[in-house]
Structure 1
Amino acid sequence: MEPAERSKKRLQPWIEAAVHFSLCFAVGALAALAPLAATRAPSAAYIRASFNNAQRAVAAAPAPPPVPDLGLLLVVTTTRPDGGMAQDASLARLAHTLRHVAPPLLWIVVGAENRTATARAVRVLRGTGVIFRHLTYDARNFTGADADAGDEEDHQRNVALGHIERHRLNGVVHFASASSIYDLRFFQELRQTRGFAAWPVATISPAEQRITVEGPTCNLSQITGWYSRDSSTNETQRTSTSMGAVDTSASNRNSSSEPLKINISGIGFRSSMLWNSERSFTMRNSSAGAAQDFIQIVQQMAIEGENKLKGITSECSESRIMLWHLDMQRFTLIPEGQETQQQRSLVVRDEDKPTT
């Protein structure tokens, strides 16, 4: 019997400790619940009801205004094979303008099919931070004395428009020169284009010391014709879309009878017109060679006029200009160590002059 009594004596302290611990735990729990009972803490039912009320309040609140759906801008820029560093500087300046335009925007740059020139242009474009596509064309057809710079630029625009039509890039097309300067509000209004739009463009020629302003004449926002004003002669040439001819009245002091040529940077249009308009369908099916001449379609729509022709501003004001073009003189850098015959003759002529 002694071993049993001895084991009971050993367990007794542990039993007393367990009872003491249980009493302390119960007292502590009651002490913790006492302040909550005194302050009337919310019950689970109260919390659930408050949550339901908050949900009903959120459901009854007015919905936030919808985020505006900004349409895609398709900005097309042509480049010259011999542009060099001056062209790089112009592209960089235009790129920093496009970076401030709200997306989506796609910059389509067209250059000559040359490995060195392409690598250089792509390197410049990648550093701009603007989403771009670089397209190339065969420039061998535009070399020689008979080459026309205007025809080459139109061919580059056709390359860009063909790419837009082939991939069905739906947006507003704008032809931006690398040397153009913009008011950023221009792009905001350009996005409102639903068919065909036009605006005035000021061309500044420092070498000739003159400014030429070209743009649409309007009745409210409807385009009724085109005008060109030369600051050097103060003459204005006007063309009516309904007449398709130049106004040569005495008030305009203009003796020219040739049709007015529209600045391509002063017009924009929905790209869907390239594949949806009846004019595009007729021209592309008239002959195989006309299928890729999209720029001719655009120029005809602008000159002949349609019901969809509208000015980019509500009043189509001739005095509100948001696009300027700098007509800078082109020059060619002469490699070091090479002299032209003209330079050598100048040196000889200077040596022949008598000294005083």
Structure 2
Amino acid sequence: MASIRRPHSPAKQQHLLRHHHGLSSSPPSSPLRHSSSSSPRAHHPHPLLLFSRRPLPLPRFAAFFLLGSFLGLLQFLSHNDPSLPLQHNPQPQFPILRRSAADHKLLIVVTPTRARPSQAYYLTRMANTLRLVHQPLLWIVVQAGNPTPEAAAALRRTAVMHRYVGCCHDLNASSSTPRHYRPHQINAALDIVDNHRLHGIVYFADEEGVYSLHLFHHLRHIRRFGTWPVPVISQGTNEVVLQGPVCKQGQVVGWHTTDDTNKLQRFHVSLSGFAFNSTMLWDPKLRSHLAWNSIRHPEMVKESLQGSAFVEQLVEDESQMEGIPADCSQIMNWHVPFGSESVVYPKGWRVATDLDVIIPLK
């Protein structure tokens, strides 16, 4: 006769499992899991029994949590006791300089250049100055003629954000004087600002000039048109001529000039002695006056009158100018004469001949 085994009730199954657990060291087997051991006696415990063996001490955990919270609050109140003396932190060795909204204005520095032996020297020196200026800054370098690989490589090594373009290809840069194609280079840079609607302060910086960092700091505070005096070193006599505005409380009240031939100029200002807002180029509503369709450097005007003729397109009179600084008493940049033009420009800036040893080492 076949025997029939009836399953136990759930309560009796739990009693048998607990009784089996107390007699044997091996955990009871679970019908949901199989042992991975080779021995048939190795079993895994039931998941529900893991939580039923050792109940969590919730009252004890809550007591320790409340005690720790009370001690932390007590320590916090002791540090903020008004009866205790305040502990001041020592001053940092290097104070943190907070930049204003004007310091984030874009500076657009325009530098005309040409191929010659000292080109790498002038571009590198100018780049070392611009690297110390706070960003954002865009350096537009305009080459007289086609751009050269040597100048492009020198500019890439400067780590300054720049735009290197060429202009006036129909002009013979070797036979023409630098002042002859300088207006074409400036207009090529103004075309870039106008076409791309760049919003910032435009400044013409000659690569031969010497500039201080205070100048670029003052440039960002210009609203429309700013100017300052610039000492010009005469190339023939090595005399210093101060050219620029005479200011009083930020207003231009006169001009410095010692050259009698330039008394016919309307504004006695050097090309590197003023800066203006770029919106005056591409937004007619923001110009000082609406007398010009486009503002460009004059190309057919006498060389000594070109700077004044360009400024006349930007402002009507001295009341629309800003003196930098307020009394225009600081010299922030120098205009030096051009370098020697008698040196032959080597191709690739490499000497390919006369490399024989004249005096051998002994």
TM over 0.5: yes
The 2-side partners of 1:179 and 1:267 are apart by 17
Structure with higher strand content: 1
Q: Deviations over 1:253-288 (max 9, x none)?
A: x687543753100011111112326687544389xx
Indicate the residue corresponding to 2:87 in structure 1: none
Structure with higher helix content: 1
TM-score (norm 2): 0.63
The 2-side partners of 1:291 and 1:158 are apart by 9
Evaluate the alpha carbon distance shift between residue 170 and residue 14 of structure 1 in structure 2; reply closer, same or farther with a 3 A threshold. Answer: same
Determine whether 1:160 maps to 2:167. no
Determine whether 1:150 maps to 2:179. yes
Evaluate the alpha carbon distance shift between residue 312 and residue 33 of structure 1 in structure 2; reply closer, same or farther with a 3 A threshold. Answer: same
- The answer (yes or no) to whether the contact 1:214–1:262 under 8 Å persists in 2 is yes
The 2-side partners of 1:42 and 1:193 are apart by 59
Structure with greater Cα Rg: 2
- The answer (yes or no) to whether the contact 1:158–1:295 under 8 Å persists in 2 is no
Indicate the residue corresponding to 2:165 in structure 1: 135
Gap runs ≥5 in structure 2: 7-12, 29-48, 74-97, 355-362
The 1-side partners of 2:160 and 2:168 are apart by 25
In structure 1, which of residues 30, 37, 44 is the aligned counterpart of residue 63 of structure 2? 37
TM-score (norm 1): 0.64
- The answer (yes or no) to whether the contact 1:262–1:303 under 8 Å persists in 2 is no
The 2-side partners of 1:143 and 1:112 are apart by 6
The 2-side partners of 1:210 and 1:77 are apart by 25
Indicate the residue corresponding to 1:298 in structure 2: 310
Give the aligned residue type for 1:79: T
The 2-side partners of 1:91 and 1:268 are apart by 21
- The answer (yes or no) to whether the contact 1:76–1:157 under 8 Å persists in 2 is yes
Q: Deviations over 1:115-137 (max 9, x none)?
A: xx432222111111111111211
The 2-side partners of 1:255 and 1:290 are apart by 20
Indicate the residue corresponding to 1:79 in structure 2: 113
Identity of aligned residues (%): 29
In structure 2, which of residues 197, 210, 219 is the aligned counterpart of residue 190 of structure 1? 219
Evaluate the alpha carbon distance shift between residue 297 and residue 171 of structure 1 in structure 2; reply closer, same or farther with a 3 A threshold. Answer: farther
Determine whether 1:170 maps to 2:199. yes
How many equivalent pairs are there? 283
The 2-side partners of 1:134 and 1:153 are apart by 16
Determine whether 1:309 maps to 2:308. no
SS in 2 for 1:169: coil
Give the aligned residue type for 2:101: P
Evaluate the alpha carbon distance shift between residue 193 and residue 285 of structure 1 in structure 2; reply closer, same or farther with a 3 A threshold. Answer: closer
Evaluate the alpha carbon distance shift between residue 328 and residue 296 of structure 1 in structure 2; reply closer, same or farther with a 3 A threshold. Answer: closer
- The answer (yes or no) to whether the contact 1:220–1:314 under 8 Å persists in 2 is yes
Indicate the residue corresponding to 2:133 in structure 1: 101
In structure 2, which of residues 208, 211, 227 is the aligned counterpart of residue 179 of structure 1? 208
- The answer (yes or no) to whether the contact 1:197–1:310 under 8 Å persists in 2 is yes
Distance apart, 1:140 and its partner CA: 3.0
The 2-side partners of 1:312 and 1:91 are apart by 26
The 2-side partners of 1:268 and 1:215 are apart by 13
The 2-side partners of 1:278 and 1:10 are apart by 94
Give the aligned residue type for 2:106: L
